[in-house]
Structure 1
């Protein structure tokens, strides 16, 4: 079994809360790269930000996703990813950005577990912050593009129920068990 388990979906749907809960239980988790890139770029006064230069932002996310994958690809333990390289492809679809041959190759060649957990838009928990400037309609559109992207690359999407973090964690662990 491939031990690299991906969480995807729109922003503000609870992925990071579940990742944090899994970390507290001792599971290995790869961080969300979009937030990391935004924080680094703001700190460095860079331009690779989704509100300044979407292509450069996407390319930085790809670079970070590759590093995440390489850091964990040989893991014999479960590793939970807060998004994957396929999300960068989905972001490209969402923003109608040009898609390079390299990105397509990476999406085809980097292998994650065939079951991908998708977190549906959930208005009652959605909030904006310094790094998340999208509104709820954009969260829905992002979710839809992630469904398209993961289906295109042959992943089986498993929708995570809109329940407490604890129940979501139990659901995911039972599904990968």
Structure 2
């Protein structure tokens, strides 16, 4: 399944929480590429600052609906960039989680029209680097289950799932860029 040409520049980095996604995105940003921070982390920071309840450990469904809205806004805003745009999680992650939580059919209606590059990079469960913090309160087992759900979901949406090796952030960035190498685009 081929996405809209614009979205062919939008590369999704997904996978296990605490698997090194944000660190990889920081490396890509340091190299001059456009990156979009994880919607969930931004929502949690806003909700904690404002005393809101759209938190995954308080009202998961509201949190996920808000994550879908933020991911849609992120995709719209990313259209201004001419080169690769790397997303730390995004629409598929939030829609898949909401569908798993509520049973509402979210994936085909939302994710068919708005697509990322056909290659999605997945961070595997990596217990040696997994840590919890004020914004990531779930266990490693829950993070690994999330990874399994995404590994099952993404191929059903027509994505080629590529597992990232457990190597340094610089080597991971090289791996991503080399894998995308057949579609060389300017940085920005």
Give the aligned CA root-mean-square deviation in angstroms. Answer: 1.4
**Following TM superposition, where does structure 1 have runs of at least 4 consecutive aligned residues deviating by more than 4 angstroms?**
none
> 1:31 — aligned with what?
37
SS of the aligned residue for 2:162 comes to strand
For 1:150, the equivalent position in structure 2 comes to 154
Q: Structure 1 regions of 5+ residues with no counterpart?
A: none
The answer for the alignment partner of 1:108 in structure 2 is: 112
Number of residue equivalences: 175
CA–CA distance in structure 1, aligned partners of residues 38 and 143 of structure 2: 16
Structure 1 residues 74 and 112, CA, compared in 2 at 3 Å: closer, same or farther?
Answer: farther
Deviations 1:47-77 (A, max 9, x none): 1001111110001101100010001135320
Aligned match of 1:44: 50
Aligned counterparts of 2:95 and 2:155: Cα–Cα separation in 1 = 12
Report the 3-state secondary structure (helix = DSSP H, G, I; strand = E; otherwise coil) of the residue aligned with 1:48: coil
TM superposition score normalised by structure 1: 0.94
Q: Take 2:124 and 2:89, find their aligned partners in 1: how far apart are those partners? A: 14
**Gaps in structure 2 of 5+ consecutive residues:** 182-188
Secondary structure, counterpart of 1:22 in structure 2: helix
Alignment partner of 1:164 is 2:149: no
SS of equivalent to 2:126: coil
* Structure 2 Cα separation of the partners of residues 89 and 169 of structure 1: 26
Show the 5 A alignment for 1:1-177. Answer: 2-73=8-79, 75-94=81-100, 96-99=101-104, 104-177=108-181
Q: Distance in 2 between matches of 1:105 and 1:73?
A: 21
Q: Distance in 1 between matches of 2:80 and 2:29?
A: 19
